[in-house]
């Protein structure tokens, strides 16, 4: 006891006496922190500083305010947006012939003209420039619904309303540039593309070799400052038909004509594609889809300096512009494509599972099919929840870099999982191409969403936690900025104050995490009750676990953590699952606590908790210091990992909730477009008709079981026998015959004399 008292007294003295604390604690830690900071390139630093933090910061802190989550606005559409969706959008969907698109590798001229004339390329452009000025929620909804019918059309609509000339002009263009270009873009007179990716520069945009040299040149009959551009780009969507090219390049001023440095940094400019020297090259063929994608290049192309976005002041600011505007692509467009695909897969596969029979019963009755269906349905619920909530942030005029990266990575991966399950269940119908195959084109397009706007491997391993650790942590970014100050005495004073707050924050999180672990999260206070209360408690505990792991990793590994991608990615997975689970809880509340949605909500939340805890466990198991890793795991999970995968019983409840036409199924898959007399429409009709006749079908199946001699009889012959034996009446017989014709149409595939 005496030794314990002495130790406590020593610790109190060290931390209480400022000079001693400076000497023994703050100064050594500040020097270590400065040494441990990873070297940051200019593009990395700009990416880290760009954008906003949002709900992700609350999750990273270990102290999520669930009341604040539910005070965020509900997803909503204006009357004007709803009218557009009910009229112009439905007209467009009826016009699209996906077989024609696949055959011609392009939309029809009529569809192109309709897109331009009805403002489908003007969602983000303000009304004063002739645009639609729709919300992110409406933009996302429209692209998602188009994606359920035609991924090629969805990508075509998505690009002008995503990262590109219009958005860059809105945020960074000069008034003159806005007045000239935005009205033309709004009515489709100017069709944009944006060229960033080249043969040697994809995810590492900082390495682009394309250059712009500041020079004096004669343009329009007078000498002026100009840029001499040389570039070679590929994978540029809409390039083959674009009339205005957004171009990213590195600017250099070797003659110091602007009076500053020689290397000026990444810059963005707008160039008409008919400008001398601009070459639009051959088309690519992205997995046989029909959206236009191709190359562009130019060599020593002269452009006026005022074609730079933002004018001369915009030179060197291009990367910051691009990173700040990535939220549209990552937070709206790609999640919308994923939502459209997931809604399509779930609506059609739940129908197909009831319509397709094997061994005289619907295939959805088999538990192996149910396991895949349950995961697909829960993923679709999560995708829809994340789509709506991420759009809320953008409509709040935020640019949340971390949450949009989470949305891009996880929603595209969940859509891929949904599609794989859908094809497994559809089996032969899913692999035969033609008008009856409503899955094939979206299946082809899945890798495209995975690849663009930062490949998923990069997004998971470098971006989510890489940005989250510095942007979302309440102290790390501030400490980084302090230690980089030149005045060491002032820096030490500020660092000491921040460090003491940081240590207190970490200590409270650590002891709270242990307490929550020992009580099974029951010690967590949350402002909710009812069926989801325990999930709020568990997620708060998982949030504290993440905060503790992050602090330990950054403290002990420092800059080395940047290279420990497998390790940091697991912490990014925890943050991601916390965010996805949060969106599910918000959707459940925003939808009015629909009891019929509870199986999907519970499955999605239990799956997120399981994956988050699994990532924590694997982080501890792979921590470089085995001792620290084992100690951390014991601290966080002293009773073992209690978070299990959703049970088989819950999976069956999810399938049952979606096995019939009902409001829950409509609510979860409402973005799926149903073509009236083909493909999706026929499958839905067969599903609904089978449900209407379920009692008669049940009666027939009972009749067959009671008469073993009927076991091998075909369905039409069984119907005739049942009618003869007066098991069913004439009216029922005719209804079942009509159902069988409809069912055979629904499960049919295309066959061709020649290909």
Least confident window among 15-29, 365-379, 551-565: 15-29
**Region 520-525 average pLDDT:** 94
Task: Write out pLDDT tens, residues 608-644.
Answer: 999 999 999 999 999 999 999 999 999 999 999 999 9
Q: Give the residue among 368, 366, 347, 349 at the shortest CA–CA distance from 358.
A: 366
CA 314 from centre of chain: 29
Alpha-carbon span 701 to 361, nearest angstrom: 9
Per-residue pLDDT tens for 157-200?
A: 999 998 788 999 999 999 999 999 999 999 999 999 999 888 87
Contact 559, 469 (CB under 8 A): no
User: Which one-letter DSSP state was computed for residue 524?
Assistant: -
- The answer to whether residue 391 scores a pLDDT higher than 60 is yes
511 Cβ partners below 8 Å, 6+ apart?
Answer: none
Q: What is the mean pLDDT of residues 677-696?
A: 93
Q: How far apart are CA 367 and CA 655, in angstroms?
A: 10
Percent of the chain with pLDDT over 70: 96
Using pLDDT thresholds of 50, 70 and 90, give the confidence band for residue 207.
Answer: confident
Helix and strand numbers, DSSP H then E, in the chain: 34, 9
Those residues with Cβ within 8 angstroms of residue 604's Cβ, 6 or more apart along the chain or in another chain: 378, 379, 381, 382, 385, 580, 581, 584
CA distances (Å), 81 to each of 88, 144, 333, 382, in order?
10, 14, 17, 24
Which pLDDT does position 33 carry in this prediction?
A: 72
Cα–Cα distance measured from residue 268 to residue 166, given in angstroms and rounded to the nearest whole number: 13
Q: How is 442-466 classified by DSSP, letter by letter?
A: HHHHHHHHHHSSS-HHHIIIIIIHH
> In this model, does residue 442 exceed pLDDT 90?
yes
pLDDT at residue 720, rounded to an integer: 86
Burial class, 367, CB count within 10 angstroms (exposed 0-12 / middle 13-18 / buried 19+): exposed
Model confidence at 372: pLDDT above 90: yes
Q: What is the DSSP annotation of 264-307?
A: EEEEEEEEETTSTT-EEEEEP-STT-SS-EEEEEEEEEEEEGGG
Range(s) within the chain of domains with CATH label 2.40.110.10: 192-321
Q: When comparing pLDDT for 145 and 482, which is higher?
A: 145
Which tokens go with 739? 């159902």
Chain centroid to Cα 312, Å, comes to 35
| Mean predicted confidence (pLDDT) in 591-604 | 97
Nearest CA to 532 out of 68, 72, 66, 71 is that of 66
Q: Is the pLDDT of residue 37 over 70?
A: no
**Best CA proximity match to 686, nearest among 507, 446, 429:** 429
**Rounded Cα–Cα distance for residues 535 and 139 (Å):** 31
Residue 518 has a CB neighbour count (10 Å cut-off) of: 12
With 70 as the cut, is the pLDDT of residue 452 above it?
yes
Buried b vs exposed e over 115-143: b needs ≥16 C-beta within 10 Å?
bbebbbbbbbbeeebbbbbbbbbbbbbbb
Structure token digits, residue 694: 């379920």
Rounded to an integer, what distance in angstroms lies between the CA atom of residue 374 and that of residue 658?
9
- Rounded to whole angstroms, how far apart are CA atoms 185 and 168? 13
| Beta strand extents in 356-485 (DSSP E only) | 357-358, 361-362
pLDDT at 203: 62
Answer yes or no: is pLDDT of 49 > 70: no
User: What pLDDT does residue 51 have?
Assistant: 67
Dihedral-angle region of residue 62 (phi above 0 means left; psi in -120 to 50 means alpha; beta otherwise): left
- From residue 52, alpha-carbon distances to 47, 65, 330, 574 in Å are 11, 18, 14, 20
> Does 657 or 49 have the greater pLDDT score?
657
Mean pLDDT on 424-442: 94
Percent of the chain with pLDDT over 90: 68
Q: Is 535 helix (H, G, I), strand (E, B) or coil?
A: helix
Q: Which of 278, 281, 272 is nearest to 245 (CA)?
A: 272
Q: What element of type H or E holds 193?
A: strand 192-195
pTM of the model: 0.93
Query: What pLDDT score does 328 carry?
Result: 63
CA nearest 49: which of 481, 565, 452? 481
Tokens of 565: 């991608």
DSSP calls for 207-276: G---EEEEEEEEETTEEEEEEEEEEEEEEEETGGG-SEEEEEEEEE-TT-TTSS-SEEEEEEEEEETTST
What pLDDT, on the 0 to 100 scale, is given for residue 461? 85
- Burial bucket for residue 447 (CB in 10 Å: 0-12, 13-18, 19+): middle
pLDDT at 503 over 90: no
Region 582-589: mean pLDDT is 98
Average pLDDT taken over every residue of the chain: 90
382, 604 Cβ separation under 8 angstroms: yes
Q: How far is CA 10 from the centre of its chain?
A: 51
Indicate if the pLDDT at residue 39 is higher than 60.
no
Nearest to 124, CA basis, from 76, 88, 171, 77: 171
Tell me, what's the pLDDT at 488? 76
Report, as an integer, the average pLDDT of 697-722: 84
Alpha-carbon distance of 423 to 417, in angstroms, equals 10
Per-residue confidence band for 47, with pLDDT thresholds at 50, 70 and 90: low
Question: Parallel, antiparallel, or unpaired for β 244-252 and 211-219?
Answer: parallel
- With a cut of 90, say whether residue 238 has pLDDT above it: yes
Task: Output phi, psi for 393, to 5 deg.
Answer: -60, -45
Assigned token pair, 405:
């990266």
pLDDT at position 322 is 83
Distance CA 268, CA 95 (A): 36
Q: Is the pLDDT of residue 501 over 60?
A: yes
* pLDDT tens digits, 730-749: 999 899 899 999 999 999 99
Max Cα distance, the chain (Å): 101
Residue 608, CA distances (Å) to 70, 238, 579 in order: 19, 37, 9
The CA dihedral of 395, 401, 407, 410, to the nearest 10 degrees, is 180
* Residues 136/394, Cβ–Cβ less than 8 Å: yes
Q: Work out the average pLDDT over 13-21.
A: 73
- Annotated active-site positions, please? 453
3-state percent helix, strand, coil for the chain, nearest multiple of 5: 65, 10, 25
CA distance 287 to 128: 39
The pLDDT, as a whole number, for residue 327 is: 64
> What angle do helix axes 648-657 and 367-395 make, rounded to 10 degrees?
70
Using only C-alpha atoms, the chain has a radius of gyration, in whole angstroms, of 29
- Which of these, 749, 62, 60, 139, lies nearest to 465 by C-alpha position? 60
Whether residue 34 has pLDDT greater than 80:
no
Count of residues making up the chain: 755
Looking at residue 147, its pLDDT comes to 97
Give me the pLDDT at residue 58, please: 92
- Residue 345 CA, distance from chain mean position: 17
Helix, strand or coil, per DSSP, at residue 39: coil
Q: How many CA atoms lie within 13 A of 504 on its CB side?
A: 7
Q: What is the pLDDT of residue 399?
A: 84
Mapping DSSP to helix (H, G, I), strand (E, B) and coil, where does residue 308 land?
strand
Rounded to whole angstroms, the Cα distance separating 122 from 115 reads 10
pLDDT in tens, 305-363: 999 999 999 999 988 888 777 766 688 999 999 999 999 999 999 999 999 988 778 99
Q: Is residue 46 predicted with pLDDT exceeding 70?
A: no
- DSSP letter string, 595-635: GGGHHHHHHHHHHHHHHHHHHHHHHHHT-SSHHHHHHHHHH
- Which CATH code fits 192-321? 2.40.110.10
More confident residue, 285 or 496: 285
Q: Looking up tokens 């002891």, which residue turns up?
A: 511
Mean pLDDT of 237-262: 94
């Amino acid at each position: 006891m005496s030794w314990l008292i002495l130790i406590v007294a020593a610790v109190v003295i060290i931390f209480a006496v400022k000079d001693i604390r400076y000497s023994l604690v703050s100064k050594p830690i500040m020097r270590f922190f400065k040494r441990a900071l990873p070297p940051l390139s200019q593009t990395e630093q700009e990416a880290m500083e760009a954008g906003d933090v949002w709900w992700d910061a609350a999750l990273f802190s270990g102290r999520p305010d669930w009341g604040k989550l539910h005070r965020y606005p509900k997803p909503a559409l204006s009357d004007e947006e709803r009218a557009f969706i009910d009229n112009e959008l439905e007209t467009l969907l009826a016009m699209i012939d996906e077989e024609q698109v696949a055959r011609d590798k392009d939309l029809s001229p009529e569809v192109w003209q309709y897109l331009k004339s009805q403002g489908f390329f003007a969602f983000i452009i303000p009304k004063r420039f002739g645009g639609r000025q729709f919300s992110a929620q409406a933009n996302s909804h429209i692209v998602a619904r188009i994606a359920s019918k035609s991924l090629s059309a969805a990508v075509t609509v998505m690009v002008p309303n995503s990262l590109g000339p219009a958005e860059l002009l809105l945020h960074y263009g000069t008034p003159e540039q806005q007045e000239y270009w935005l009205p033309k873009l709004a009515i489709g007179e100017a069709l944009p593309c944006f060229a960033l990716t080249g043969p040697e520069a994809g995810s590492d945009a900082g390495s682009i070799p394309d250059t712009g040299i500041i020079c004096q040149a004669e343009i329009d009959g007078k000498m002026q400052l100009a840029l001499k551009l040389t570039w070679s780009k590929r994978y540029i969507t809409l390039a083959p038909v674009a009339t205005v090219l957004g171009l990213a390049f590195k600017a250099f001023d070797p003659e110091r004509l602007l009076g500053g440095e020689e290397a000026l940094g990444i810059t963005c400019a707008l160039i008409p594609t008919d400008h001398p020297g601009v070459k639009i090259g051959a088309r690519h063929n992205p997995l046989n889809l029909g959206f236009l994608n191709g190359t562009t290049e130019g060599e020593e192309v002269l452009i006026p300096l005022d074609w730079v976005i933002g004018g001369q002041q915009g030179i060197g600011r291009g990367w910051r512009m691009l990173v700040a505007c990535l939220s549209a692509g990552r937070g709206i467009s790609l999640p919308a494509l994923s939502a459209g695909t997931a809604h399509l897969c779930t609506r059609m596969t739940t129908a197909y599972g009831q319509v397709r029979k094997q061994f005289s019963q619907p295939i959805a009755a088999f538990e192996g099919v149910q396991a895949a269906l349950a995961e697909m349905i829960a993923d679709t619920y999560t995708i829809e929840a994340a789509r709506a909530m991420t759009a809320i942030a953008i409509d709040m005029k935020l640019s949340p870099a971390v949450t949009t990266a989470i949305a891009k990575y996880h929603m595209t991966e969940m859509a891929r999982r949904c599609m794989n399950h859908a094809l497994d269940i559809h089996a032969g119908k899913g692999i035969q191409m033609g008008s009856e195959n409503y899955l094939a084109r979206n299946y082809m397009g899945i890798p495209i969403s995975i690849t663009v706007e930062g490949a998923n491997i990069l997004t998971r391993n470098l971006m989510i936690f890489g940005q989250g650790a510095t942007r979302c942590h309440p102290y790390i970014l501030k400490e980084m900025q302090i230690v980089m100050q030149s005045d060491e005495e002032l820096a030490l004073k500020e660092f000491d104050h921040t460090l003491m707050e940081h240590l207190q924050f970490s200590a409270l999180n650590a002891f709270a995490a242990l307490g929550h672990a020992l009580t099974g999260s029951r010690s967590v206070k949350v402002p909710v009750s009812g069926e989801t209360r325990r999930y709020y408690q568990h997620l708060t505990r998982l949030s504290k676990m993440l905060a503790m792991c992050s602090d330990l990793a950054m403290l002990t590994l420092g800059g080395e953590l940047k290279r420990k991608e497998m390790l940091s990615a697991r912490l990014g997975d925890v943050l991601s699952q916390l965010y996805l689970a949060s969106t599910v809880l918000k959707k459940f509340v925003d939808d009015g606590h629909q009891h019929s949605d509870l199986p999907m909500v519970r499955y999605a939340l239990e799956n997120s908790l399981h994956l988050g805890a699994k990532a924590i466990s694997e982080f501890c198991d792979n921590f470089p210091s085995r001792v620290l890793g084992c100690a951390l795991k014991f601290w966080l999970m002293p009773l073992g990992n209690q978070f299990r995968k959703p049970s088989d019983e819950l999976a069956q409840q999810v399938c049952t909730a979606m096995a019939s036409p009902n409001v829950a199924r409509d609510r979860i898959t409402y973005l799926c477009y149903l073509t009236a007399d083909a493909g999706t429409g026929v499958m839905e009709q067969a599903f609904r008709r089978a449900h209407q006749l379920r009692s008669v079908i049940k009666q027939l199946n009972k009749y067959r079981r009671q008469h073993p001699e009927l076991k091998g009889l075909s369905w039409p012959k069984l119907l005739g026998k049942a009618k003869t034996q007066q098991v069913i009446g004439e009216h029922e017989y005719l209804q079942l015959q009509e159902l069988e014709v409809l069912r055979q149409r629904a499960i049919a595939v295309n066959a061709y004399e020649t290909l």
